[in-house]
Amino acid sequence: MTYKGVGRDISGFGIGAVVSAPLDIGEEIWVRYDHPSAGLTAQSVVRRAIVRQRHGYRYGFEFLHPVDERLSVALGRETPGTA
């Protein structure tokens, strides 16, 4: 099942979003979002995450894998150990 939402905060570790979905704490999900790169069109990113917080329809999702090099470039940051 697919639900749409609005992302509020994002980091390499997770994302906060408002989603009209009945998700449970601890549930593993796929999160897809468009992340604009500096001066480029938005890039679609798909990541595995776990629901860590819920307040009504506001959720906190923790990404299950660290930021990879492609996403790090999209975020305009260097991958640890590449500086």
Q: How confident is the model at residue 78 (pLDDT cuts 50, 70, 90)?
A: very low
Check residue 49 and give its pLDDT. 95
Check residue 83 and give its pLDDT. 41
Alpha-carbon span 34 to 38, nearest angstrom:
13
CB burial readout 49-76, b (16+ within 10 A) else e: bebeeeeeeebbbebeeebeeebbebbe
pTM, two decimal places? 0.72
Q: What percent of the chain has pLDDT over 70?
A: 70
Go through the domains of the chain in sequence order and give each one's CATH number.
Answer: 5-74 (2.40.10)
